[in-house]
Chain A
Amino acid sequence: EVQLVESGGGAVWPGGSLRLSCAASGFTFGDFTMHWVRQVPGKGLEWVSLISWDSGNTDYADSVKGRFTISRDNRKNTLYLQMDRLRTGDTALYYCTKDIDGWYGFDYWGQGTLVTVSS
Chain B
Amino acid sequence: SSELIQDPAVSVALGQTVRITCQGDSLRSYYASWYQQKPGQAPLLVIYGKNTRPSGIPDRFSGSYSGNTASLTITGAQAEDEADYYCNSRDSSGRHYVFGTGTKVTVL
Contact = CB atoms under 8 A, between A and B. Distances in A.
B54 A109 contact: no
Residue from A44, A45, A46, A106 having most chain B Cβ neighbours under 10 A: A45
9 contacts: A45-B86, A47-B98, A95-B42, A100-B48, A103-B31, A104-B48, A104-B97, A105-B32, A105-B48
Contacts of A108: 45
Given A103-B31, A104-B31, A107-B54, A35 B97 contact: yes
Given A50-B97, A100-B48, A44 B2 contact: yes
B95 A59 contact: yes
Contacts of A112: 42
B33 interface: yes
A67 to B, nearest CB: 16
A109 B33 contact: no
B65 interface: no
Contacts of B100: 44
Nearest to B95: A59
A110 B42 contact: yes
A35 B98 CA distance: 12
B45 A106 contact: yes
Contacts of A59: 95-96
Interface of B: 2, 30-33, 35, 37, 42-45, 48-49, 52, 54, 86, 88-90, 95-102
Interface string A54-86: 000001011000000000000000000000000
Contact of B33 (A46, A61, A100): A100
B99 A46 contact: yes
Interface string A26-43: 000000000101000000
Contacts of A111: 42
A60 to B, nearest CB: 8
